[in-house]
Structure 1
Amino acid sequence: MNRLTSDVQACEAHATDADLDELRARLAAARLPEAETVHRAAPDPRRWDQGVPRADLVDLVNYWRTAYDWRSFEARLNGIGQFRTTVDGLGIHFLHRRSARADATPLIMTHGWPGSIAEFIDVVDELADPKDADAPAFHVVVPSLPGFGYSDKPTTTGWGIEKIAAAWVELMGRLGYHKFLAHGGDWGGPITTILGGRYPEQVLGIHTTTAQAPPGLTTDGLTAAERKWTEDTHDFWSHRAAFAKLQAARPQTIGYSLVDSPVGLLAWILDKFAEWTDTEDSPFETISRDRFLDNVTLYWLTRSGASSARIYYESHLSLDPELRVDVPSAIVVYPRDIEKCPRAWAQERYRRIVRWRSPETGGHFPSLEVPEYFVKDLQDGLAAVLAAHR
């Protein structure tokens, strides 16, 4: 059990010096537009009304070119442990952090867009070997979604959320984990929901930051706060989700810009981090510039701007409305997330909610914004899931 086989191979990340030199050269030669026509002094979220402010981008580009250290992130990935396996003809890359604890439970963690495995590298150690001996421990597996990072890029259609969930079951089985827990947010949310709903024999239970209510539910009986959640979510999809509709309809077209221009890629991703974090003005109030640039540089070096966007083409609004999850589920709704699902709605899909939390702080990237709370909530939530089996 858990030995490397011909199906699972260890690997390491190592960008060439030429690739890093080319990145710096492209950043130095970038051609930028004029400044936005809304002018407000920071801190003020309205500075971002037309998108990423030019001054903020110039500062970040200069830091990326002159001070950022990719090699540090590479070393961290290699230190955790990187592996690859092939599922249905597609190479899947994943991190695998084994716990030293004999009572550890396997856990697969799924990221989304515009995130990556970089979202979880600061929390895997505490999840695997917690300082608190009473906290649960996990054998942590963090795969890169198809078309993201060091996973292969699909060359045919079909790699949507249902197929990805099936691939995760196959992956965990190859590692000897025939029963496991699952966590996910953003695209990881519906993938984790599918894992819990379709594979109850393998999946002990789930934890998600992106609960997926069935369509067509009414606001009757909701509290005023919960109605505000539904209004915020509706506003997001009606007025602030052009990126999703564009990537669902024309991922190849936007992909040319994202793969050819590091500044274009940087701005496209920064815009989402700025809007979706629980901050007053800038995502760097809570997330380090280096960790953010680890994420962006991973997209750049793997040329995954187009291939990652295609998950929207494959899966946008595709979750089965009839899918129900009967395994124990722990759900957390962060106040500045882009989708906020009332518990009454969530219960229509997740039939055994064993823990529900709505903290006072945090946004769409909680493992980066509030990592200590994120880890504690994940530990407590999955402990409740496991207790439901006793």
Structure 2
Amino acid sequence: MTAERFHISIPDAVLDDLRERLVRTRFTTASDASSWTAGVDPDYLRGLVAYWADGFDWRGAEAHLNTYPNFRAEVGGSQVHFVHMRGKGPAAGPAPLPLVLSHGWPSTFVEMLRITELLTDPAAHGGDPADAFDVVIPSLPGFAFSAPPPGRFTRRGVAEAWHELMTEVLGYPRYGAQGGDIGGGVTQWIGALFPDQVTGVLVTSAVIPADFAENPATPEEQKFLDAMDAYDREDGGYSEIMRTRPDTVAAALTDSPAGLLAWIVDKYRDWSDCGGDVATRWDRDTLLTVATLYWATESIGTSFRQYYDYPLNRPRPPVAVPGAVTLSNEPAYRGMPRSLAERVFPDLRQLRTPERGGHFMAHEEPEQLARDLRDFFRPLRG
């Protein structure tokens, strides 16, 4: 199996059609006088749509994405897109450690790009070249330029595909893994399934054990789990429709770029550590780069597959390799007891709660996460 270089090039006809749709957008009226209370603020959306139509430079964004080494390869029975950045280690010393980074929803590989140079060339950022990584950033199946999986979307299935990518396509005998959200689940499965070839794993989302049957939750753990369930009930409308009627909402979002943008930006605001102002974490060009990727690849519907197929996920065994957690500062995850992480990671080496950086940690706090990755993997490299 071999990887082929991939050049991102969206046809002019797709971009022309996108602009025509944007300028004809019909906007809704706010349901509540308080901005953002009932979802995306219509006035904010109006301004962002206007900029998407007549200010945003996709060709410039596309050229920037193509400065990264993009590839595609057949993995797990379908085409997978990934970025592969070689590390710059010491002239006379161990080779950089391979590291696969896995994003979540409603994200893309773009989330991980800010951290790549910090990881591949630490010396250029005041670090030790011995801490360098070879970084691999795959697009999840059905996201952007990765084809949907040939069967059902499960975290275990993606973990098996990523292992095939790292060991068979790229030829790495050992590697580490990091991820959050969906990617965090995939990362935990990687550590559980392949302990002989995985150096360690670090996740940034709440770590919840698969089974409490033999060892019931403690009062402290149950309090956290109850609070998490309460938050999910308040925030979970998006996931309920994607879990039960994904094709219905996808029909609307695949036809309306403004609707697609609203669906995505709602979560970028809610889940980022932005204090209600999405601009403090995401500039407009980055938001619209992500939205254009979803639009041009018509992948918003296929990105819902992991929600529809979620009941097919089976309980994950404990992660046998060394584990680490850098806990994101999302409301649902604050105050997670260390004992929950220890249930998942019997060999928990590092737990950090920085109280900054949300759902999209690699983009929001790249320096912080890069430091945590270096610290965690440093003693494991030998």
TM-score by length of structure 2 reads: 0.91
**Equivalent residues of 1:333, 1:357 under 8 A apart:** yes
- How far 1:202 sits from its partner (Å)? 1.5
Name the CA shift for 1:220/1:317 in 2 (closer, same or farther; >3 Å): farther
SS at match of 1:368: helix
Query: How big is the shift at 1:221?
Result: 5.7
In structure 1, how many angstroms separate the alpha carbons of the residues matched to 2:160 and 2:217? 34
Structure 1 CA distance, aligned partners of 2:161 and 2:322?
22
Quick check: 1:214 aligned with 2:202? no
TM-superposition CA deviations, 1:65-88 (whole Å, max 9, x none): 111122232222221101111123
**Match for residue 90 of structure 1 among 78, 101, 113:** 78
- After the TM superposition, which of the residue ranges 229-238 and 88-97 deviates more from structure 2? 229-238
Task: Choose which of 95, 100, 105 in structure 2 pairs with 1:113.
Answer: 105
The structure that is helix-richer by fraction is: 2
CA distance in 2: counterparts of 1:291 and 1:282, whole angstroms: 15
Q: Deviations over 1:183-227 (max 9, x none)?
A: 0001001100000001111111101002232344766363xxx77
- Larger deviation, residues 256-265 vs 308-317: 308-317
| Structure 2 match to 1:325 | 319
Query: Is this contact kept in 2: 1:274–1:281, CA < 8 A?
Result: yes
What is the aligned partner in structure 2 of residue 123 from structure 1?
Answer: 115
Instruction: Write the letter of the residue equivalent to 2:58.
Output: W
Partner of 1:273: 268
Find 1:300's aligned residue among 291, 295, 300: 295
- Measured in 1, the distance between the counterparts of 2:224 and 2:355 equals 14
Q: Which one of the candidate residues 90, 99, 111 is aligned to 2:87?
A: 99
1:68 matches 2:56: yes
Contact 1:190 1:212 in 2 (8 A): no
Worse-superposed segment, 237-246 or 204-213: 237-246
The root-mean-square deviation of aligned C-alpha atoms, in Å, is 2.0
Q: Which structure 2 residues correspond to residues 1-390 of structure 1 after superposition, within 5 A?
A: 7-34=2-29, 36-40=30-34, 47-101=35-89, 103-130=95-122, 131-134=125-128, 136-154=131-149, 156-173=150-167, 174-210=169-205, 211-216=207-212, 220=218, 222=220, 229-316=224-311, 318-321=313-316, 323-336=317-330, 338-339=332-333, 341-384=336-379, 386=380
Question: How far apart, CA to CA, are the structure 2 residues paired with 1:178 and 1:67?
Answer: 46
Deviation of 1:9 after TM superposition, in Å, equals: 0.8
- 1:286: Cα distance to partner? 1.9
Given that residues 146 and 153 in structure 1 are in contact (C-alpha distance below 8 angstroms), is that contact kept between their aligned partners in structure 2? yes
- Structure 2 CA distance, aligned partners of 1:87 and 1:240? 34
- Structure 1: distance between partners of 2:309 and 2:128: 42
Q: CA deviation at 1:279?
A: 2.2
Range 226-235 or range 248-257, more displaced? 226-235
Structure 1 residue runs of 5 or longer lacking an equivalent are 1-5, 41-46
May I ask how many residue pairs the two structures share in their alignment? 370
- Cα distance change of structure 1 residues 269 and 25 upon mapping to structure 2, 3 Å threshold: same
* Percent of matched pairs sharing the same residue: 35
- The SS at the match of 2:33 is coil
Segments ≥4 residues shifted beyond 6 Å: none
Amino acid at match of 2:108: S
**Secondary structure of the equivalent of 2:10?**
coil
C-alpha offsets along residues 284-309 of structure 1, whole Å, 9 cap, x if unaligned? 12221211211111111100011111
Instruction: Return the alpha-carbon distance in structure 2 between the equivalents of residues 188 and 72 of structure 1.
Output: 28
CA offset digits 1:213-267 (Å, max 9, x no partner): 2344766363xxx777544422222221122222122222211112111011100
| Alignment-mate amino acid for residue 80 of structure 2 | I
Deviation at 1:158, TM superposition (A): 2.0
Could you tell me the TM-score, scaled by structure 1's length?
Answer: 0.89
Contact 2:242 2:249 in 1 (8 A): yes
State the alpha-carbon separation in 2 of the partners of residues 228 and 358 from structure 1: 18
Corresponding letter in the other structure for 2:287: F
Local SS of the residue matching 2:31: coil
Q: Compared with structure 1, are the counterparts of its residues 220 and 88 closer, same or farther at alpha carbon in structure 2 (3 Å cutoff)?
A: closer
Q: Could you tell me how far apart the structure 1 residues matched to 2:314 and 2:66 are?
A: 34
How far apart are 1:48 and its partner, in Å? 1.8
CA gap 1:368/1:112 in 2 versus in 1, 3 angstroms: same
- Is the Cα contact below 8 Å between 1:214 and 1:348 reproduced in 2? no
The residue identity in structure 2 corresponding to 1:11 is: F
| Distance across 2 between alignment mates of 1:317 and 1:374 | 31
The answer (yes or no) to whether the contact 2:329–2:354 under 8 Å persists in 1 is yes
